[in-house]
Every structure is written in structure tokens, then in C-alpha cells.
Amino acid sequence: MAVALYNRTSSEELKQRMLQETEPRTTISFYNYFLIENPKEFRDFLYLNLDKLGVFGRIYIANEGINAQISVPTNNFEAFKTFLYSIEALNNLRINIAVDDDGKSFWVLKIKVREKVVADGINDPTFSMENKGKYVNAQQMNALLQEKDTIVIDMRNHYEYEVGHFVNALEIPSDTFREQLPMAVDMMKGKEDKNIIMYCTGGIRCEKASAYMLHNGFKNVFHLEGGIINYAQQIKKEGIDSKFIGKNFVFDNRLGERITEEVIAKCHQCGQPADTHTNCKNDGCHLLFIQCDRCAATYEGCCTEACQTIYNLPEAEQKKLREGIDKGNMVFNKAKARLRPKLNEE
């Protein structure tokens, strides 16, 4: 009998099963740039083996490598590592373990083949990931941040930067990584001899960004090994000061893990200090925005009174209103007038 290489159960049922689990899980992430000759075959090989280990999460495969954010039953963690390290290109690969984790981050295993593991918009055939910036660990990062010739660049999206970032880090004001790469080059023109440190959540974006900067003539380019996740683990283990303040946005059910106690963002509805991201409860919206506890209660988790009204309609009426709606990239961004309708404080 053929083995199913895709999940056949509804997402909601799987989520409820996960929430009822009593066995602890560990949330991890990893990536590696390496040549995969047959991504589809490699994808199926991974699915068969990871499904047996009870792994949930999201994995992207491409000719250029792998990018994974998953949760593993804690009792199977060593077996998972043994399997992962049995793959030659992934042997002894650094695994980022989540900082603020309840193990309830994923409830289904999805492994997808893509053109690239990180959509970058790079079409230059001479670009290569073989020439990339130098890794820096937490101590080296902190030391470089003290030097006057250092520029630190955040290679994450605006909504990630908003809730947490390194002290004096430059934001590349964009919604997508593919837009950020040329913007970073333009912003750094004339600073080719400066120390440029790039960082991101887990390392995959800033590693590619460092290679792109070198490709464009910059000389002293560094990137934070393992990103913010690994940095947070290192400062905790080594007892050193955190130069990252606030919360680290993560792309799973948690939507964030706290690094320091500072709350540097504001509720998008009332303007009070808050850094909890949520998706609007109206299924026809699902806008990602920051909401404080008071506004969450007032608006029942919705982004506007209009969405709250729809959210309280019978499900059949909600479905009818949702027909034909293209939500697109529904992320709150004060700098862009494209948002319909504005949140309540505006």
C-alpha cells in the first residue's frame, strides 16, 4: 500500500489533536544553502522520515537548499538529530532551539518545493552563495556594535523590527526581502569600507544578504550566526548583556518570543505600549497587527469595529461576505496608505 506523502486530515482537527497532546515538544529551526539536484525526491524522503518521528512544521526545499521551522516531540529529539545528521550536507548543522516556547507552535507537517528557499528577486547568474559574509557570535556581535565604524542592518520586515531590534539597527523599510536587498545596497553606497553587520530571525535571510552585499562591492560584511534566536540562547548561556531589545517575531503560532522585558512597540488601536501580534478574528480580513489586552477585549480580537460586526454575524453570512475577497499581504503598516479601513486610532 502506498504511503501518503501529504496530510489528509483537516487543519482544525489536527490543531485540536496537538493542543490535547501531553508529551512535550521542542520548537526548532534550521537552514542550509547547498545544492539539491532533485528537490521533489528530497522532499518526499524528508516527509517519510519526519512524519514517522511526529514532526510538525513548515519546511521549504529548493535547488539552493533547505529552510525549516518545526516542532519535534522532545522524546524524539535525539532521533531527529541522528536522522538529520545522517544527511551528508546537514551533518552537524546548527539547530536553533526556540527561546520562549510552549511546544504548541505547529500542528501539521508541510514540506513544499519552491524555486528558492528565500525569495530574493536576484536574477544575476554570477551571484553565488559561496562568497558570503563572516559569521559573528553573540560576543563578537556585541564587540563590533561598540566600534564607531560599524553599521548594523536589520534584514527583517517592518513588523518584525517594530517589536524588537538591536540597538541603533537600521531598518530597511519594506514588506519583502526581495525589495530589501537592492535597498540595502543603495542605503550603504559610499560606506563600502565600513563594518556592516546584517542580522535576521534565524540567519537564513542575513546570510544571503551578506553574500549580496559582497557581490555588490562591499568589503567588511558580517552576519549574525543563527540570527536572533541563536544570539538569545548564547547571551542566556554565557550571561552577557543583550544588545537586542524587545521581542523577536517568529513565523509560527506564537508570533513572537520575548528576549528582553522592554516593550518598544505600541498598540495599533489605542497607542498604549504593547508588542503582541495577532491576526484579526474576522476570517475575511486576518490583518496582522499589534493589539493590547484591553483592545483585544473591547474589539474581540478584531482590528476595527467593522470587522467586529462581521465577526459576530452568523457563519453563513460571514462566508457570503468573504466571497471574492483577495486579502493579499494583510500586514499593518502605518507608512502605507493602502490599508483599508484604518485601525481605530487613526
Q: What residues are labeled active site? A: 200
- In sequence order, which residues have a C-beta less than 8 Å from that of residue 207 and are 6 or more positions away? 33, 129, 132, 133, 223
Of the candidates 81, 71, 203, the one whose C-alpha atom is nearest the C-alpha of residue 133 is 203
Q: What letter does residue 326 receive in the DSSP assignment?
A: -
Alpha-carbon radius of gyration of the chain: 21
Phi and psi angles of residue 300, each rounded to the nearest 5 degrees, phi first: 55, 40
Q: Max alpha carbon distance in the chain (Å)?
A: 64
- Residue pair 246/116 in contact (Cβ under 8 Å)? The answer is no
- Our CA dihedral for 205, 206, 208, 213, rounded to 10 degrees, sits at 140
Would you say 138 and 234 are in contact if contact means Cβ atoms under 8 Å apart? yes
Q: Please list, in sequence order, all residues whose beta carbon lies within 8 angstroms of the beta carbon of residue 299, skipping any fewer than 6 positions away.
A: 269, 291, 305, 307, 308, 344
